[in-house]
Amino acid sequence: MADRKAELAANLARVEERIAGACGTAGRAREDVTLVVVTKTFPASDVRLLAELGVRDVAENRDQDAAPKAAACADLPLNWHFVGQLQTNKARSVTSYAHFVHSVDRPRLVTALSEAAVRAGRETGVLLQVGFDGESESAAPRGGVRPADVPDLAERVTEAQGLRLAGVMTVAPLSGPYAGRPGETFRRLWEISTDLRSRHPAANMVSAGMSADFEEAVAAGATHVRVGSAVLGVRPRLG
Ligand SMILES: *Cc1c(COP(=O)(O)O)cnc(C)c1O
Residue 227 Cβ contacting ligand 1 at under 6 Å? yes
152-193 pLDDT, tens digit per residue, is 999 999 999 999 999 999 999 999 999 999 999 999 999 999
Are 30 and 222 a contacting pair, CB within 8 Å? no
- Residue 94 makes CB contacts below 8 A (sequence gap 6+) with 63, 66, 67, 82, 86, 101, 113, 116
Taking the CA of residue 235 as reference, the ligand 1 atom at the shortest distance is 8
Q: What does pTM read for this prediction?
A: 0.97
Which domains does the chain carry? Answer: 2-232 (3.20.20.10)
Q: Give all strands (DSSP E) within 130-192, no chain letters.
A: 163-169
- Pocket of ligand 1 contains residue 207 by CB under 6 Å: no
Q: In whole numbers, what is the pLDDT of the chain averaged over residues?
A: 97
Compute the C-alpha angle 69/74/76, nearest 5°: 105
Per-residue pLDDT tens for 81-100? 999 999 999 999 999 999 99
